[in-house]
Amino acid sequence: MRDRKTFKRLCIVTNCLLLVWFFFDMTGLSIGSTVLVESAWDSIDGIWFLIFIGFFAFFMFKEKYGKYPLAGFHLLWFIIQFTSHWYLTIFGASDEKIAGYNRFFADTYRIIPASDSRIVPDFYHIVLHIFILLALVFVSLYCVKRRSAN
């Protein structure tokens, strides 16, 4: 079984990856003419970014107390992303919602083509969701490992 230090390192690495990837949402990221994500600093994403930095900093400086709020934040974030993207992909959405989503993300890169019958997340959001899930898993495992070590 892995030790606490390994789980703490995995927490830090996954959260740093998530922080860097989410930062692209603040600045926008294009590779050549391919848009991965447009800047969303002036939206709710900017507030969410600052909240994430706060929880991550709390974890880094006071990990004994900061790991639980960080885990809760990741759980909430994952639930929001799931209901905003994957729930609608799996169970469908109204034609109006699908058309609006496809218009809003029309210029972003997709590994799965847009659909007229389902909402399909673009590449940026698929990677974002993977990083959120990884961060949630590793922070949760660290919380459990840390608790069992006490």
Structural domains counted in the chain: 1
pLDDT at 1: 47
State which residues form the domain around 99: 4-149
Reported confidence tier of residue 93, pLDDT bands at 50, 70, 90: confident
pTM across the whole model: 0.90
Share of the chain above pLDDT 90, in %: 59
Does 98 or 1 have the greater pLDDT score? Answer: 98
Token couple for 21: 């990837």
pLDDT at 53 over 90: yes
Select, from the ranges 7-11, 76-80, 89-93, 117-121, the one with the highest average predicted confidence (pLDDT). Answer: 76-80
Average per-residue pLDDT in the chain? Answer: 90
